[in-house]
Structure 1
Amino acid sequence: MHTPSDVQIDPNTVLGKVVTVLYAFTVDDHGLSLAELGRRTGIPKGTLHRLVSDLVKVRLLDRTQAGYRLSGQLFELGMRASTERSLIEVATPFMEDLYERTHETVHLGILEGTEVVYISKIGGHRQARSPSRLGGRMPLHCTAIGKALLAYSDPEILERVLAEPLERRTPKTLSGPGLLRAQLERIVDEGVAYEREESAMGITCVAAPVLDPDDRPIAALSVTGPVARFHPERHATSVRAAAAGVAATLARRARMSEPE
């Protein structure tokens, strides 16, 4: 089961069991049998059967020939999250502009715990084979978006990341805390972050943070392409300008919504 790094689940409560079942599904699952759900969750078969039956009734799970899967109702609920919805709405025109400039994959990600969550993605037929998935998570230290977010995050988040072993995704992943800290300082100076085959071999990336008026990270934008054709430094100015445009639009909307 993969849960967000900052989520604590008490499996002894009904809510805890529900959350455990929902988080048991991965992005690659098209249907899980009751036996597989039991293996992943550790919930006794009788309890699990009653639980998934109730989740089907309230349309949080669908039952198919392949077993059980997450339902479209969950997607609808997720789209009601006003902050992310507003962010995607504002960011999309800027992401489309970046795509037209580069014809490479454009991502929008947010910080959650000590991970980046990808909430929007634009890519054409030539998009690079990237480990990122819409709704997926990646460690902060090995992605350009993650480093852009981490560089502007509260010090305690940085210290929490540096206190844990830095997972080595490829031979080029930064695994030394000192090297990562130095790179984050350069990101603050330059306003952009780079990834060079650190999350997956063969891809490179440039990202910039979307900051609030107090320079705290709201999100980050990135462009990713294969090392054979994509030169991230050439697009640093465009990515930085797009992130600044998103930030300015969000700030203007916030001012307009304030009571007089």
Structure 2
Amino acid sequence: MEAIKKGATIQSLQIGMGIVDLIAKQGRPLKFSDIQDLTQITKSNLYKYLNTFTQLGILYRDKESGAYVLGSKLIEYGMIAADQENVVDRITPYLKEINERSLSTVLYSVWTHNGPMIVKEFNANQGYNIGAQMGTLLPLLSATGKVFTTFMDEQITREWKEKELKQTPLEKARQLEEECKLIREKEISFAREPLVSSVSSVSFPVFNYKKKLLGAVTIVGFSELIPHNEEEELSKYLMNISKEISGNFGYKPHVG
């Protein structure tokens, strides 16, 4: 086989990855016209690139808005690169159990440079979905966001947190500060209808043996099914199973 020349590149691949990189860095869904304005690629060529990436799962096109975001294949690659694939495989049976117990959608999210992202969704009752899907970024005031801002290294989350706090009323920002102290102590967080009316969430961290945050498991559903505080039966069950899940990765919670 002929040796690859040093510095030899495939221009069309560079252009294609440039489009993906641009969508990633914008940090928001982009319509065809937005991408064309930013890249100046001809419409016919851009359509071919976007269509190819969508078919491969590199990009995802929302059917209603027509906007493009990063696709599930890139999430899959990112998880493998971050050694998260094994984590998801190991916690999936627990997600199934929690789904059956809570009668609500169960999510697993990991950290990305744009904030917490859903990388696994479990919902046995397919007609009862509350709209969460793989690739969705979750905000600071969601139950998931609260877990990440509490347990993730502040240097890693600072930029995301500052950006989110700009859109947060001062009173809610103060409440969050107090709430994070309780979350650190109890290792469970709650959010009453942070995104959609009548839909609430509860979330708990997944730690490894160094108490490094691997991700967060979140239960999202209609508010009457989701607990308000750690005293409720479902909360107690979640706090117990969270210790069991993290125990699989060597985490030993402090006693007393």
TM-score by length of 1: 0.68
- For residues 163 and 55 of structure 1, the distance between their equivalents in structure 2, rounded to whole angstroms, comes to 32
Q: How does 1:31-50 map to 2 (within 5 A)?
A: 37-41=32-36, 42-46=38-42, 49-50=44-45
Whole-angstrom distance in 2 between the partners of 1:194 and 1:219:
16
**1:129 aligned partner, one-letter code:** I
Deviations 1:153-192 (A, max 9, x none): 11234544553353659xxx88643221111111001110
**Corresponding residue of 1:190:** 186
> What amino acid is the match of 2:242?
A
Q: CA deviation at 1:198?
A: 1.5
User: How many Å separate the matches in 2 of 1:75 and 1:160?
Assistant: 23
Cα separation, partners in 2 of 1:150 and 1:165, compared to 1, 3 Å: closer
Long gaps (5+) in structure 2: 1-13, 57-62, 252-256
Task: Tell me the equivalent position of 2:21.
Answer: 19
CA separation in 1, counterparts of 2:238 and 2:175? 24
Q: Give, in angstroms, the shift of residue 98 of structure 1.
A: 0.8
Aligned to 1:3: none
Structure 1 residues 133 and 230, CA, compared in 2 at 3 Å: closer, same or farther?
A: same
Is the contact between residue 194 and residue 206 of structure 1 (CA under 8 Å) also seen in structure 2? yes
Matches within 5 A, 1:200-215: 200-215=196-211
Matches within 5 A, 1:56-71: 59-62=52-55
CA offsets per residue over residues 30-55 of structure 1, 9 Å max, x none?
xxxxxx52433422243x64465467
Runs of 4+ that moved beyond 6 A: 22-27, 66-73
- Give 3-state SS (helix, strand or coil) of 1:107's partner: strand
Residue number in structure 2 paired with 1:32: none
Q: How does the TM-score come out when normalised to structure 2?
A: 0.69
Aligned residue in 1 for 2:87: 87
Question: 1:128·1:203 contact (CA, 8 Å) conserved in 2?
Answer: no
Are positions 1:177 and 2:176 aligned together? no
**Residues 159, 180 of structure 1: CA spacing in aligned structure 2 closer, same or farther, 3 A cutoff?**
farther
Aligned partner of 1:4 in structure 2 is: none
Residues of 2 paired with 1:156 and 1:105: CA distance? 31
Shift in alpha-carbon separation, 1:119–1:17, aligned structure 2, 3 A: closer
Contact in 1 for aligned 2:207/2:249 (Cα 8 Å): no
Contact 2:209 2:249 in 1 (8 A): no
* Number of matched pairs: 223
Q: 2:109·2:217 contact (CA, 8 Å) conserved in 1? A: yes
Conservation of the 8 A alpha-carbon contact between 1:60 and 1:71: no
Task: Quickly say closer, same or farther: Cα 1:160–1:177, change in 2 above 3 A.
Answer: farther
SS in 2 for 1:137: coil
Q: 1:62 to 1:215 in 2, by over 3 A?
A: closer
Q: What is the CA deviation profile of residues 193-251 of structure 1, one whole-angstrom value per residue up to 9, with x for unaligned ones? A: 00111222211221110012222211011212212343354322222233322222233
Distance 2:235 2:210 in 1: 23
In structure 1, the residue corresponding to 2:248 is in which secondary structure?
helix
Provide closer, same or farther for how the CA distance between residues 68 and 90 of structure 1 changes in structure 2, counting only shifts above 3 A. same
Q: Using the alignment, how far apart are the partners of 2:161 and 2:209 within structure 1?
A: 27
Query: How big is the shift at 1:70?
Result: 8.8
CA contact (8 A) 1:91 1:246 kept: yes
Q: Secondary structure at the match of 1:251?
A: coil
Letter aligned with residue 217 of structure 1: L
- Distance in 2 (alpha carbons) for counterparts of 1:18 and 1:226: 35
- 1:77 deviates by 5.9
Runs (5+) with no aligned partner, structure 1: 1-12, 30-35, 253-260
